[in-house]
Structure 1
Amino acid sequence: MAELDAVRPVRTVGADHVALREQVLTELRRRIVDGEYLEGERLTETRVADDFGVSRNPVREALRVVEAEGFVEILPRRGAVVATLDQTAVRDLFAVREQLETLAAGLAAERAQPPGIAALRTLIHQAAAATTAGDLDRVAELNSAFHRTVIDLSANRWLQSMSAPMYHHVHRVFRTGAAHRAPHSLDEHTRLVDAIEAGDSEEATKAARLHVQAAAKAALAQRPTA
């Protein structure tokens, strides 16, 4: 057994290929979420490889992942294209979001500690400043950070793991309507944090539900029908 161990090749977690694949995946996802690659835009392996200055192998692997995540779909005779978020997709997204966020809000009201609540207040203040400055990309980033923090404060590891992929899509939807939604979202976030700080699980759940429903209504108004 010792002899076999001596000759067995060692594959390290930090291998260059793995690192490059993850870098390509992160950047590809970011470009889709931030709208640099538009809905319906064709993403060939060659095109993306040229954009990133890499070979086609890590691009091929990254495209498989973003397809599984719902950011890309494979169409006959076109290949990979950026998925379109029509009204059906948005409704499905917000239906799941409402269930997860209302649960998280109620748990956060029961479990959050002062440092976590302070972190939420800070994110609201930063978002207000970014809104005033018209920095909508920053507003979208802070919006996602706010909701991820509420999830973290729920101290429920299942919620944390299940919601993580969803927030890439939430960020993508919010970003397109940030100019309209930002001021309303700030007010709704403040109400939610007030309830969490008061330890009022019922009010926090209600605030989260109303917030998600308002966000869904705004998102649907901007989206094409299926």
Structure 2
Amino acid sequence: MGLRGGVVRTPGVMNAARACGSPAREALRRGGRRAIKTGLYTISRHMTELTLGATHRTLRDEVTSELRRRILSGELAQGERLVEDRLAGALGVSRNPVRESIRVLAAEGFIEVVPRLGATVARLSAEEGEELFDVRMAIEGLAARLAARKRSPSSAERLRQVLDQAREAVDGGRLEQVADLNTAFHLAVGEAAGNSYLSLMMKPMLLRAQWVFSQTAAARGPHSWSEHLSMYEAIAAGDEDEAQARATAHVAAARRSFLAAVDRTRKHPND
């Protein structure tokens, strides 16, 4: 999601604007609240004429994605107070979608809302991190085992593509992209497992895991990539036991890295 002129600009909105023709594109270029409303109204009217298979994200969804991204990347730090007016101004939207997005992110556990005090970015304690890793050990080990059992050329190719992209991101030092691709790899393993109940559990868990990973991405990036490669090799070979063992070892290594980071923060809180 990009921002220009204080207005939220997303691939989905811009693509829809292109489909609508020059009036909507020009409205989005001019920026400002009136322009964005005009552009979105034109886009919305056009979208009703598209097929039922087309997708369209609401402004609330776009704002939620952007705020979640800023929390995961650390742009919005843990414990930071969230003021609706400031966020609305920074994103070029009204307060309503910001307020709705805060509710969504509070339900996901990324934001804490205290009556009469307002909203702040949640803090991820060492204890919560430990609980998360306990669950990951069980779920991701199972996901890797099932992915090896149900392996297919298409699922193996998807994992390989994510690995190649992650290698480039690690080499280029693009840490936010590394964190995104780390999550994408684990989600791809979950999809390869072919279990709908497992998939339902994995996405919210992995978003929390990305929050943890973002704090250690600089140190963990290269190691995480090599561990993912090892998991991929076992899954592609159809070795269920080895795939599960490597996935569990990978989560255990991530746990050690997180706890080491927490320990450093406790010893040097101002660093």
Query: How far is 1:76 from its partner?
Result: 6.5
1:6 is matched with none
Aligned mates of 1:24, 1:127 — CA distance in 2: 26
Conserved 8 A contact 1:42-1:78: no
1:40 is matched with 79
2:91 is matched with 52
Letter aligned with residue 161 of structure 1: L
Query: How far is 1:96 from its partner?
Result: 1.6
Aligned mates of 1:27, 1:131 — CA distance in 2: 23
Asked if 1:24 corresponds to 2:63, the answer is yes
Conserved 8 A contact 1:105-1:151: yes
Aligned mates of 1:124, 1:22 — CA distance in 2: 28
Asked if 1:192 corresponds to 2:231, the answer is yes
2:17 is matched with none
User: Tell me, which stretches of 5 or more residues in structure 2 are unaligned?
Assistant: 1-44, 49-56, 267-271
1:170 is matched with 209
1:145 is matched with 184
Asked if 1:218 corresponds to 2:253, the answer is no
Find the residue that maps to 1:40 and give its secondary structure: coil
Query: Which range moves more in the overlay, 137-146 or 216-225?
Result: 216-225
Letter aligned with residue 100 of structure 2: E
Query: How far is 1:153 from its partner?
Result: 0.1
1:22-71 C-alpha deviation (Å, 9 max, x unpaired):
12212111111121111110002222222222222221111111111110
Aligned mates of 1:216, 1:39 — CA distance in 2: 19
Aligned mates of 1:133, 1:55 — CA distance in 2: 37
The CA RMSD over aligned residues, in Å, is: 2.0
1:7 is matched with none
1:4 is matched with none
Aligned residues: 211
Asked if 1:158 corresponds to 2:197, the answer is yes
Query: How far is 1:77 from its partner?
Result: 5.9
1:108 is matched with 147
2:170 is matched with 131
Structure 2 length as normaliser, TM-score?
A: 0.73
1:175-200 C-alpha deviation (Å, 9 max, x unpaired):
22111111211221121111111211
Structure with larger RCO (C-alpha < 8 A, sep 6+): 1
Aligned mates of 1:78, 1:126 — CA distance in 2: 42
Letter aligned with residue 112 of structure 2: E
Which of the numbers 118, 135, 138 marks the counterpart of 2:157? 118
Letter aligned with residue 228 of structure 2: H
Query: How far is 1:214 from its partner?
Result: 0.5
**Structure 1: which 4+ aligned runs deviate by more than 6 Å?**
none
Aligned mates of 2:134, 2:90 — CA distance in 1: 35
Letter aligned with residue 19 of structure 1: T
1:141-193 C-alpha deviation (Å, 9 max, x unpaired):
21111111000000011111111122222222112211111121122112111
Structure 1 length as normaliser, TM-score?
A: 0.86
Aligned mates of 1:52, 1:138 — CA distance in 2: 21
Find the residue that maps to 1:73 and give its secondary structure: strand
Letter aligned with residue 187 of structure 1: S
Conserved 8 A contact 1:49-1:59: yes
Aligned mates of 1:48, 1:212 — CA distance in 2: 35
Aligned mates of 1:214, 1:43 — CA distance in 2: 33
Letter aligned with residue 125 of structure 1: D
Letter aligned with residue 240 of structure 2: S
Letter aligned with residue 119 of structure 2: A
Find the residue that maps to 2:219 and give its secondary structure: helix
Aligned mates of 1:22, 1:121 — CA distance in 2: 30
Query: How far is 1:219 from its partner?
Result: 1.0
Find the residue that maps to 2:113 and give its secondary structure: strand
